[in-house]
C-alpha cells in the first residue's frame, strides 16, 4: 500500500476510533414543529426528551412554542474509502462536508464533495462539487432561497459548471418525523466542456426534497433536482440523491447512499447517466 493510501486509512481509523471512544459531540436537531405551533405538553416533553434539547440556546426553547433554536455552525463530514492490491490494484475515495447555520429566519449552508478513483494506476473517476446556499423564511410554510453550485467531472469531459439560482420553496407536508417540500426558481448555467467553448445559458430549477427520521435517530433523505438548460436543452441536468443513515455512536453514523446524474445528450458521445453508490461513515459536531 502506498504512503498516501496508508495515510487515508489511518485518518479514517482515527475518526472512527475517536467517535467510538465518545469524543464526538453531535449538534442538537431543531424542533420539527411548525413555528408558533402549540403542541400538547406531553408531545413537547417527549420531543425534548428524545434529544431535541437546544444545548447553548436552551433558554430560548419554550415547550409550549416549538420554534427552532438559533445555533452555531454545525459540521457534518463523510468519508468512504476502498483499496486493493496484489492481482488487482485499485483505490477509491469519496468525501463530503457540509456546514449549516440556522439563525431564524435565515439558514446558511456551505458544502463540498469529491470522488476519486484509480484502477491499475489510471484515474477512472475524478469529480468535485460545491454549494453555497442561503434561505430566508417568508412564513411558516414558504421561504426564498439563493444558491450557487459547482461541478467538475474529468472523465465526463466537464471542465466546470457554475449554476447560480434563486427561487422560492414551499413546505407541502410536515410532521414531527418527516417533511416534504418543493422548490422552483431560475438562473444561469455557465459550462465549459473539454475541447469546447464556454457556454452561458439561462436555466430553470425544480426541486423536491423529502426526509424521514425514526426514534432511534435513523434517517432517510431523498432529493430530486431538475435544471433545464434553456439555451441547449440537451445539456439539461436531472439529479437524484438518496441516503439512509443509522447511528452507531454519538456523532458517528453509517451511511448508505446513491446518486444519479442524468444529462439528456452530452457532447462527444459520452454517457448520459453517471451513477455513484456509497457506503461510508459520517461524523457530526
Q: What is the pLDDT of residues 157-181, one digit of tens each?
A: 899 999 999 999 999 999 999 999 9
Strands (E), the chain: 74-84, 90-103, 106-119, 122-137, 142-153, 158-175, 178-193, 199-213, 219-227, 237-249, 252-263, 273-284
**pLDDT at position 71, please?**
61
Query: What is the count of structural domains for the chain?
Result: 1
**Closest to 243 (Cα-Cα) out of 113, 92, 124:** 113
Inter-residue contact 77 to 95 (CB < 8 Å): yes
Whether 38 is covered by a domain: the verdict is: no
Block residue for cell numbers 440537451: 234
pTM: 0.72
Q: Is the pLDDT of residue 20 over 50?
A: no
User: Containing domain of residue 246, as a range?
Assistant: 72-284
Distance CA 39, CA 256 (A): 34
Element (H, E) at 53: none
Q: Is the pLDDT of residue 207 over 60?
A: yes
DSSP 56: G
Whether cis (ω within 30° of 0) applies to the bond prior to 105 is yes
**pLDDT at position 255, please?**
93
Whether 152 is covered by a domain: the verdict is: yes
Whether 102 is covered by a domain: the verdict is: yes
**pLDDT at position 49, please?**
36
Record the cell numbers describing residue 275, joined without a space: 451513477
Record the cell numbers describing residue 195, joined without a space: 475541447
Q: Calculate mean pLDDT across residues 1-25.
A: 39
Inter-residue contact 93 to 113 (CB < 8 Å): no
On the CB side of 145, how many CA atoms lie within 13 Å of its CA? 25
Whether 170 is covered by a domain: the verdict is: yes
Judged by average pLDDT, the poorest of 20-24, 101-105, 193-197, 260-264 is: 20-24
Inter-residue contact 225 to 206 (CB < 8 Å): yes
**pLDDT at position 121, please?**
76
Q: Is the pLDDT of residue 111 over 90?
A: yes
**pLDDT at position 81, please?**
83
Whether 214 is covered by a domain: the verdict is: yes
Q: What is the mean pLDDT of the chain?
A: 79
Q: Calculate mean pLDDT across residues 170-199.
A: 95
**Closest to 80 (Cα-Cα) out of 68, 66, 91:** 91
**pLDDT at position 70, please?**
57
Whether 157 is covered by a domain: the verdict is: yes
Predicted confidence band of residue 48 (pLDDT cuts 50, 70, 90): very low
Cα separations in angstroms, 21 against 18, 74, 81, 146: 5, 21, 21, 39
Element (H, E) at 14: helix 3-20
Whether 9 is covered by a domain: the verdict is: no
More confident residue, 33 or 67: 67
Say which CATH number the domain at 277 has: 2.40.160.40
Whether 207 is covered by a domain: the verdict is: yes
More confident residue, 111 or 269: 111
Element (H, E) at 261: strand 252-263
**pLDDT at position 51, please?**
37
Instruction: Judge residue 211's burial from the number of C-beta atoms within 10 Å of its C-beta, 0-12 exposed, 13-18 middle, 19 or more buried.
Output: middle
Amino acid at each position: 500500500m502506498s504512503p498516501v493510501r496508508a495515510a487515508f486509512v489511518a485518518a479514517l481509523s482515527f475518526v472512527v476510533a475517536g467517535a467510538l471512544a465518545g469524543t464526538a459531540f453531535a449538534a442538537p436537531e431543531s424542533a420539527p414543529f411548525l413555528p408558533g405551533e402549540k403542541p400538547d405538553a406531553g408531545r413537547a416533553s417527549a420531543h425534548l426528551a428524545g434529544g431535541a434539547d437546544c444545548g447553548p440556546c436552551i433558554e430560548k426553547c419554550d415547550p409550549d412554542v416549538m420554534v427552532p433554536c438559533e445555533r452555531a455552525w454545525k459540521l457534518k463530514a463523510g468519508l468512504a474509502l476502498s483499496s486493493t492490491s496484489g492481482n488487482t490494484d485499485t483505490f477509491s475515495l469519496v468525501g463530503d462536508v457540509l456546514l449549516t447555520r440556522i439563525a431564524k429566519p435565515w439558514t446558511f449552508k456551505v458544502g463540498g464533495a469529491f470522488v476519486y478513483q484509480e484502477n491499475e494506476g489510471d484515474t477512472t473517476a475524478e469529480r468535485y462539487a460545491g454549494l453555497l446556499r442561503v434561505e430566508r423564511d417568508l412564513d411558516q410554510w414558504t421561504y426564498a432561497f439563493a444558491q450557487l453550485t459547482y461541478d467538475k467531472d474529468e472523465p465526463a469531459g466537464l471542465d466546470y459548471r457554475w449554476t447560480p439560482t434563486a427561487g422560492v420553496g414551499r413546505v407541502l407536508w410536515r410532521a414531527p418525523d418527516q417533511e416534504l417540500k418543493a422548490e422552483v426558481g431560475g438562473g444561469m448555467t455557465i459550462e465549459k466542456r473539454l475541447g469546447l467553448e464556454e457556454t452561458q445559458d439561462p436555466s430553470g430549477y425544480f426541486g423536491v426534497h423529502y426526509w424521514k427520521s425514526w426514534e432511534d435517530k435513523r434517517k432517510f433523505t431523498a432529493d430530486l433536482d431538475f435544471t433545464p438548460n434553456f439555451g441547449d436543452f440537451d445539456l439539461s441536468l436531472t439529479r437524484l440523491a438518496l441516503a439512509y443513515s443509522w447511528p452507531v455512536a454519538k456523532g458517528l453514523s453509517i451511511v448508505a447512499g446513491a446518486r444519479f446524474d442524468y444529462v439528456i445528450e452530452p457532447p462527444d458521445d459520452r454517457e448520459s447517466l453517471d451513477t455513484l453508490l456509497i457506503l461510508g461513515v459520517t461524523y457530526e459536531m
